[in-house]
Amino acid sequence: MDSKFKSYSRATLAMAVASAAMLTGCSAGSSTPAATDDGQPIEVWARAGTDAATTYAAMFKEFTAKTGVEVNFQGVPDLDQQLQTRAASKKLPDIVINDSAALGNYTAQGYLVEVDKSTVEGNDKIADSLWDEAKGLDGATYGVPFSRQTMVTMIRKDWREKLGLPVPETQEDLEKLATAFATQDPDGNGQADTYGMTVPGSTERGYLGWWASSYLWQNGGAYLKDEGEGKFAANASSTEAQEGVTWIKKQFCTPGNTQPGALTAATSVASPFFQTGKTGIILTGPYNFSSFDTSLGKDVYEVIEAPKGSVDNTVLAEGENIYVTASNGKPEQTKQVIDYLVSADGQKAGMTAGKQPIVRVPVNGDVDAAAVYNDPRWAVVQDALQDSSKAFPSAINFVPIKQVAAEALNKIVSDCGADNVESGLQALDTAINDELTSQNAKS
């Protein structure tokens, strides 16, 4: 982002704060002109492919029928790139729905205005922990929680039962199952063409750092230590993190425990191995239920509570927030959109109005995912979210930290003959601390 837009974004932030007083509860000085309503339908963008965009469109059709407020919705797969383009033209969409992890980057770019959660109808139905994830480094709230999910472990139930093996309860059990899937011909075709785990081990978009985080946490490790007051320190070389990475490296270095080409596989390349019956284990999000049900059959695989590491069974939690942008001049329509999206009706519409749910686990405490979907697998997801999940810090820009983590881990696990876990994680600590310093978030 060039300095010209940074200056623009700060000025526009002040104008939008004045114009969006219903949401922010703040006001700018009287000499600052407020952003004005251009008379067009409120513009809402979300990161969404075709199926998800269809669900959004159906949901906003219901919203307009209820309120009379017209919405210009666009599903934008390359959302961040397109936001930069619109930022350069000094006219962001009014509302953006995107990953909760985007908050730190968006606030740093000056894209957002503060939200006063007390003005959001039904704010008390949203857990305080979710509101905390929507805070910036300054402690202010910059997003409204919309949807959440956790990673879950999915296993080929038919393979496991054919081999007479139990549902894995520990990482050791999971490893034994992966080895059995790779060596004991679970599909019965007489060929050595099955593998244990589906793993996105690529450095692209930080995939390996993303996937590995759950296994690090399960052993008590972490990339970062939260020092409080918006400050963090690298923690990747702790004894606990080394234990987790040692287990991860063993999977890559045990023939067949991960799919061929795992070290260069992004999720789009890795997931088909499970979907087409080549691997028997995958750690992924519940957004894959529908595609796996279609390709494999709902009864062929099982969704289980994550096996425990040496400490617990924590898994990565993710989700989407509703963001109000700095060029929003439609406070009344904005409030109506947000109030609807987090209402029980809006949350249910986001789960059922189209082919692909855009609300996975609802943030509204009055809505039960397993009941709405009539699918007990969602109870596993919902319970994990409530009892054994952790999110990446959203107040900082975590994207570059996830990236350096992926690069360090990829280097560690790709050299099976080297005793490089400790040294590799020490190098990762240095890279993380350098990034934190650049963000003024280093303790």
- Interval 42-50 mean pLDDT: 95
Residue type, 320: E
Question: Which residue in 104, 319, 144 sits closest to 232, CA to CA?
Answer: 104
**Per-position DSSP letters for 184-206, written without gaps between them:** S-TT-SSSS--EEEE-----GGG
Sign of CA dihedral 282, 288, 293, 299: positive
Encode pLDDT of 207-256 as tens digits. Answer: 999 999 999 999 999 999 999 988 999 999 999 999 999 999 999 999 99
Residues of the chain with pLDDT > 90, as a percent, come to 89
Provide the pLDDT for residue 34: 53
Triad 11, 12, 14: Cα angle to 5°: 70
Look at residues 146, 409, 418, 175 and name the one whose alpha carbon lies nearest to residue 280: 175
146 and 367 Cβ atoms separated by less than 8 Å: no
Give the residue-averaged pLDDT of 432-439: 97
Polymer length of the chain:
443
pLDDT tens string 19-41: 333 344 333 333 334 567 778 99
Closest CA to 317 of 141, 152, 200, 81: 152
422 φ, ψ (degrees, to nearest 5)? -65, -50
- pLDDT band, residue 355 (cuts 50/70/90): confident
Between residues 28 and 305, the one the model is more confident about: 305
Euclidean distance between CA atoms 121 and 292, whole angstroms:
37
- Its CATH class, for the domain covering 152-316+396-438, is alpha beta
Query: What number is the average pLDDT over the span 421-428?
Result: 98
Rg of the chain taking only CA atoms, in angstroms: 23
For residue 1, pLDDT over 50 is answered with no
Q: Is the pLDDT of residue 114 over 50?
A: yes
Strands (E), 314-369: 315-324, 361-362
pLDDT for the residue 17: 40
Q: For the residues 50-76, what does the mean pLDDT come to?
A: 96
Contact 273, 198 (CB under 8 A): yes
Q: What letter would DSSP give residue 309?
A: -
3-149+318-390 and 152-316+396-438: identical CATH topology: yes
**Arithmetic mean of pLDDT, 80-96:** 94
Q: What is the pLDDT of residue 36?
A: 73
What is the pLDDT, as a whole number, of residue 27? 32
pLDDT at 187: 97
Q: What's the mean pLDDT in 294-305?
A: 96
Q: Where are the domains of the chain?
A: 3-149+318-390, 152-316+396-438
Give the strand pairing for 42-46 and 95-99: parallel
User: What is the distance between the terminal CA atoms of the chain, rounded to a whole angstrom?
Assistant: 26
Whole-angstrom CA distances from 141 to 116, 297, 396 are 7, 42, 13
Domain 3-149+318-390: top CATH class: alpha beta
Nearest partner of 120 among 357, 342, 355, 356, judged by Cα: 342
List, for residues 247-264, the tens digit of each pLDDT value.
Answer: 999 999 999 999 999 999
For a pLDDT cut of 70, what percent of the chain falls above it?
Answer: 92
Which residue's structure tokens are 């009014």?
Answer: 94
Q: How far is CA 104 from CA 110, 134, 222, 277, 439, in A?
A: 10, 9, 19, 39, 10
CB 213 within 8 Å of CB 317: no
Question: What is the band of 366 on the pLDDT scale with cuts at 50, 70, 90?
Answer: very high
Residue 92 pLDDT greater than 90, yes or no: yes
Residue 90's pLDDT is 87
What number is the average pLDDT over the span 78-85?
A: 93
Tens digit of pLDDT for each residue in 141-152?
999 999 999 999
**Residue of 208, 116, 243 whose CA lies nearest to 414:** 208
Task: Tell me the per-residue pLDDT of 154-208, one tens digit each, with 9 for 90 and over.
Answer: 999 999 999 999 999 999 999 999 999 999 999 999 999 999 999 999 999 999 9
- The C-alpha atoms of residue 397 and residue 394 are separated, in whole angstroms, by 7
C-alpha–C-alpha distance, residues 374 and 377, integer Å: 9
Average pLDDT of the residues of the chain: 91
